[in-house]
Amino acid sequence: MSPLSDPKQREAYLYVAPAALMVGVFLILPMLYTTMLAFTDWNGMTAPTFIGFANFFKLVTDTNFTRPFVNTLKWMVLGVVLPVGLGFFFAYAISGLRGAKLMQICIYIPATISASAAGIVFGFVLRDQGALNILLDAIGLGALKVNWLYVQPYNTYAMIGAYTWQATGINVMIFLVGLQNLPKEPVEAATLDGAGGFVLATRIIIPMLMPYVVIASLLAVINSFKVFDTIWVMTGGGPARMSETLAVTMYKEGFANFKMGYASAVAVVISALSLVFSYLYLRNMLARENQV
């Protein structure tokens, strides 16, 4: 019997249909259209011209792609390790403490601020005559002053720092939920056996929190590939495009240089990298989880 012949099945499909339609119209169709444009030469005004894989061949030798590609890899690694690692550290440190609710609020507040606003705040602190350099002068450490936003690789690390400040709060909440749902018996047994601190966290708690680690890390991987506003506000990808990521390159090539086909090829590469790294990470983490 066909599923549509059952009234309950038809009703279920009707509930799902609006969401499926929105996904198809606003996600799948643009993705297919962008993939198609990646094989064309198009300036956004005249008709697209099919050029095959020329845009992708150009990516291999284009210095305006190589540097952003390396920076994107830095973002992917540090944008996962720092927010997720600090998120677990803070969650583990404040879990069960008196006043933990207030600490949670303080840690989570940066997550409520837009990325652009966070970039403006950190730009004010880290610019050449910003608050950090003024402080270094005031305490006699003027020799350590750096133009943090215009010297490579300091500018990339400074922006990753701003991103980490904002993203850590979300991960704290994810891990706090995980810690609250952990079974108490294994933790109590390990404590009675003398495990504590670092050993308890790495050998007992983190393995049991693996589903939450997977969720937090996967979200961080995806966000690190598409980060744009923080970079655009703080450095605009400069100086000389040295702090660009692939997302910024895609924007500049498409909307500043009017190379829509080339920008679409960059978008396809971003999507492919995101899917590959997400798949490899999930496969690795789920395999570890099954061994626990």
pLDDT digit string (tens) for 128-170? 888 999 999 999 888 888 889 988 889 999 999 999 999 999 9
What confidence category does residue 290 fall into, taking pLDDT thresholds of 50, 70 and 90? low
Does the pLDDT at position 292 exceed 70? no
Mean pLDDT of the chain: 87
Quick one: pLDDT at residue 222?
86
Task: Measure the CA–CA gap between 119 and 233, rounded to whole angstroms.
Answer: 6
Rounded CA separation 43/50 (Å): 12
Would the pLDDT of 38 be above 80?
A: yes
Does residue 234 register a pLDDT over 80?
A: yes
Q: Alpha-carbon distance 19 to 2, whole Å?
A: 22
The full DSSP string for 223-251 is HHHH--HHHHHHTTT-STTTT--HHHHHH
Report which of residues 77 and 277 the model is more confident about: 77
Under DSSP, is residue 49 helix (H, G, I), strand (E, B) or coil? strand
Banded pLDDT at 84 (limits 50, 70, 90): very high
Q: Residue 145 region, left (φ>0) first, then alpha (ψ -120 to 50), else beta?
A: beta
pLDDT(281) > 80? no
Q: Classify the C-alpha dihedral 283-284-285-288 as positive or negative.
A: positive
Please report the sign of the dihedral spanned by the C-alpha atoms of residue 182, residue 186, residue 191, residue 194. negative
Q: Is residue 40 helix, strand or coil?
A: strand
What is the average per-residue pLDDT within 271-281?
Answer: 85
d(C-alpha 82, C-alpha 117), whole Å:
20
pLDDT the model gives residue 2: 58
Residue with tokens 């924007």: 251
Q: Taking the CA atoms of 191, 104, 82 and 135 in sequence, report the sign of the dihedral they define.
A: negative
Digit-coded pLDDT (tens) for 10-19: 788 888 889 9
- Residue 57 confidence (pLDDT): 92
Please say if the pLDDT value at position 52 is more than 90. Answer: yes
Helix (H) or strand (E) holding 201: none
Given a cut of 60, whether residue 49 has pLDDT beyond it is: yes
Confidence of residue 61 (pLDDT cuts 50, 70, 90): confident
Q: What is the DSSP letter of 262?
A: H
Letter string b/e over residues 58-92, b meaning 16 or more CB atoms within 10 A of that residue's CB:
ebeebebbebbbebbeebbebbbebbbebbbebbb
Q: What value does the mean pLDDT take over residues 107-121? A: 91
Tell whether the model's pLDDT for residue 103 goes beyond 80: yes
pLDDT at position 291 is 62
